Amino acid sequence: MTKYKTESKSGLEFEFCYLFFHPLPTIFYKLQEMRIVVNGQEYQTEARTAAELLQELQTPEVGTAIALNGEVVRKSQLSQTTLPEGSKIEIVRAVQGG
């Protein structure tokens, strides 16, 4: 069995496994951890979308907001918004202030 590993930009890792006597190559998908920056700190995540990231971080739904590379992601768009490798994320909530 021969394995060819390729890393795609989307962060998905494909493993092409050519099995002997197999008529067609079989493709296995494995989610690879991706490096992004959350609130100024390096962060490894398996999350592919803004919604998945917020879930992973256990961010409360109410009173919070997220920006991806300087653009606010509307609540209705969270699950459609994919996070590219190296994304800069800001996640905020209200605190006491004057």
Partner 1 sequence: MLCRAVKSTFMELLKIGKYEFSSRLITGTGKQVPYPLMRQCIDAAGAELVTVAMRRIPQDEPAGMTLLDNLTGLNLLPNTALCFTAKDAILTAQLAREALQTDLIKLEVIGDQDTLYPDNEELLIAARELVKDGFTVLPYCIDDPIICRKLEDLGCAAVMPLAAPIGSGQGIRNVTNLQIIIEKANIPVIVDAGVGTASDAVIAMELGASAVLMQTAIFGAKQPVQMAQAMKLAIHSGYLAARAGRIPKKLYATASSPDTGLVEAR
**Residue 90 engages partner 1 in binding (rule: CB under 8 A):** yes
66 neighbors 98 (Cβ within 8 angstroms): no
Binding part of the chain for partner 1, among 5-13, 22-30, 44-52, 85-93 by CB under 8 A, reads 85-93
Q: Residues 2, 6, 8, 41: which binds partner 1 (CB under 8 A)? A: 41
Residue 2 as a binder of partner 1 (CB under 8 A): the answer is no
CA distance 32 to 10: 10
Distance (Å, rounded) from C-alpha 65 to C-alpha 39? Answer: 12
Distance of CA 94 to the CA centre of its chain: 25
Residues lying near partner 1 in the complex (CB under 8 A) are found at 38-41, 57-60, 62-67, 70, 72-75, 90-98
